[in-house]
Structure 1
Amino acid sequence: MYKAILFFHILAGTVALGSGLVAIFATKGRNNHRRSGRIYEFSMYAVAVSAILMCLLKFNPFLLAIAVFSLYLTYTGKRALFYFRLREKYQPGFPDKLPAFAGLLTGMFMIGFPVWQMLQSGTFFVPVLAVFGSGLLGSSIGDLFTFRKPELFGPNNKAWLLKHIGMMGGAYIATVTAFLVNNVHMQQQWLVWIGPTVVGTVLISRAIRTWRGKLKLQASKKTVGFSGEKL
């Protein structure tokens, strides 16, 4: 059973890599982007769920934490589109907040577990898991504070579109990292873990800046009349 789930996990990860790449380069808002994005979303769910099932059969705290991390990023990235497309005020409930609480607990584990390992072994090593855990912890805390601001859950809040870019981009970083870790082996293996995050974060930040500029330009055009003067 473990081998069967592993095969499914690898297959879903391959689909996620391909569909995610198509979604990144496809024109945003068009059918190609929507379709590839939908395939990417469900393939990432399949990757995370299959990883959790493997951990139940053969416990691996590292794999379990990364699986929950990927699941959190994918779900919140997709959920951000729901908030972006709101047509009326929305009151977030417990189902909206549950992923943030799960991310908070998982992030604390991802930081605490390698620290506990170092204390037990008496040796120092690069806590790669803690690096990812810090990002997850910070994002989860930020989401919980967001839910305390009802004014953000109004119609057409474009900040959620930027959130979508950041979270989905983060999920793709996790996918690329998993692929490289399983196929690239070197003495400084921590570089394989951290490299995609460093490069991906720079690219995501650039994309967010670009889209923030586009959204500001669109907003300014809507406030200008035929005479060119602001209404």
Structure 2
Amino acid sequence: MNTPPSQQALKSDTFGRILLVEQDGRRFIRRDLRAGPWWLRGVARWLARREARALQHLEGLAATPELLASTRQRLDRSYMPGLAMYQRPPRGDLAYFRAARALLQQVHRRGVAHNDLAKEANWLVREDGTPAVIDFQLAVIGNPRSRWMRLLAREDLRHLLKHKRMYCGQSLTPVERRVLARHSWVRDLWFRTGKPVYRFVTRRILYWEDNEGQGPKP
């Protein structure tokens, strides 16, 4: 007989609530889509479907979550022990960033571009000091050899290299510095058009600050 689950809220935002659930001796993460405003639940479900599809493509990749269940009301994924990058900064840890780049290459080979790696909250430093990536709500799936997916993969890499510049800048290679210096048209278009709209909606309508992926400010 299953025991009732214990739940600990980790984060709440306009698209739901993230819970750490413990049941029958196992721990997992639940994205509760019912916790947000009713008028945003359609968007929350759409984002959850994107995440579920991405996790299915990444099945078996140890440094990404495992999809456990996905319904109209929730998404369950495996729990990955560790701390967000901003909570445990990998300062001077070249091994971390080498492993993170290798992880990104594996994700991209599966035909998945994360598309939200500027947030340090989406990079974990696990208990053994190795990297993991979470939160695939904005992931894009496609042929990894297509021009579009290669462009998105390059943007993922640029975001990783920005973190490396912050915490391990002395180890940036000349090639990595050139990648950082070269902005794609996707990035420029986002900053000119998408980001102002995003800020207006989240800050003026939803009263929500991104706050490094931690959700609304008190």
Q: Which structure features the higher share of helix residues?
A: 1
Which protein is bigger by CA-based radius of gyration? 1
Q: TM-score, normalised to structure 2's length?
A: 0.29
Greater relative CO, 1 or 2 (CA 8 Å, sep 6+): 1
